[in-house]
Amino acid sequence: MIFKLATLALSVAAFPQSEPQVGQWVPAGPNDVRSPCPIFNTMANHGFLPRDGGVMTRQQIVTAFKEQMSIDETLTNQLLDATYLLGLGNAHDQTLTLASLNTHNAIEHDASLFRNDAFFGDNHTRNLTLLNQLISYSSDGQTISIDDLARYRKDRFADSKARDPNFTFGPKQEFLAFGEAALLAETISPANPKQIPIAVLKAFAGDERLPVAEGWVKRTDTVNDLNVGAFAAELKIKAGVFNS
C-alpha cells in the first residue's frame, strides 16, 4: 500500500501536466487541428478521437460515434466509404485526419449552417455569429423546430449566394447540406418531437462539447440512414429546392 502511494505520488510529480483523461472536455490548443464537422471536433475535444486531430482509424471513429452519440455503425461506415471515395484521408490505411475534412468542395461546402464560406478564409471554425443567427430563428425561444431549421437553411443559401462572389452550390452541396442538418437534429434532439433545445445546440455546435450538462442524453435507439433520410427529405420539402 505504502509502495503504491509512493509510486502514485512519484508519477503525479513526474507528470504535473499529464494528458487529460479520456472523456474530459478540453478545447483545441494552438497545435491541435479541427474540422468543419461538429461531431469530429467534439469527439477530439473529449479525447474519444485524437486530441490533436491527427491520424485516426475507421474503428476509432465508428466506436466513438456509436458509444458517445448513438450513431449507427452502418451509417458511419457508409459515410466513411463516401469520404474515401471523395479522396479524403487515406483509403489504403482506412485512416483520416481532421485536416483532410477541410478540403473545399469535397464534403466541405458553401452556405454551411454555422461556418463561413471558404472564399472568406477560414472554412472550418464554427462562426458564433452564424450560430446565433440560427438560434434567432427559434419560434418559441427554447428550441429549433424543423420549420425554423428549414427557414434558416433557405436564408443561409440566399445569404451566401448574395455575398460570396465564388459561391458554389450544386446538387451535391445541397444533398450534403440537408443531410448535415438532419444528422444534427436526429443526434441532439430528444427522441421526439425533433426540436433541438437551444442550450444543447449551443454546447454541441458552439463549444463542440457533449451537451450532458444541458440535460442531453444519447438516444436509446440509433441515428441511422432511415431517420436521417426521412428528416432530410422533410426539411428539403419545407425549405424548397435550391438553385445556384
Ligand X SMILES: *[C@@H]1O[C@H](CO)[C@@H](O)[C@H](O)[C@H]1NC(C)=O
- Cell numbers linked to 29: 490548443
Quote the CA–CA distance of 74 and 89 in Å, as a whole number. 19
Contacting residue, 57, 68, 70, 168, with ligand X by CB under 6 A: 168
Q: From the CB of 133, what's the least distance to ligand X, in Å? A: 7
x/- string (CB under 6 A) for ligand HEM, residues 188-227? ----------------------------------------
Contacting residue, 104, 161, 172, 218, with ligand X by CB under 6 A: 104
222 binds, among ligand X, ligand HEM, none (CB under 5 to 8 A by kind): none
- Cell numbers linked to 4: 503504491
The residue whose grid cell reads 430563428 is: 137
Q: From the CB of 104, what's the least distance to ligand X, in Å? A: 3
Interaction between residue 71 and ligand HEM (CB under 6 A): yes
x/- string (CB under 6 A) for ligand X, residues 21-40? --------------------
Q: Given the rule CB under 6 A, which residues bind ligand HEM?
A: 36-39, 65, 71, 76, 79-80, 83, 101, 107-109, 112-115, 180, 183-184, 187
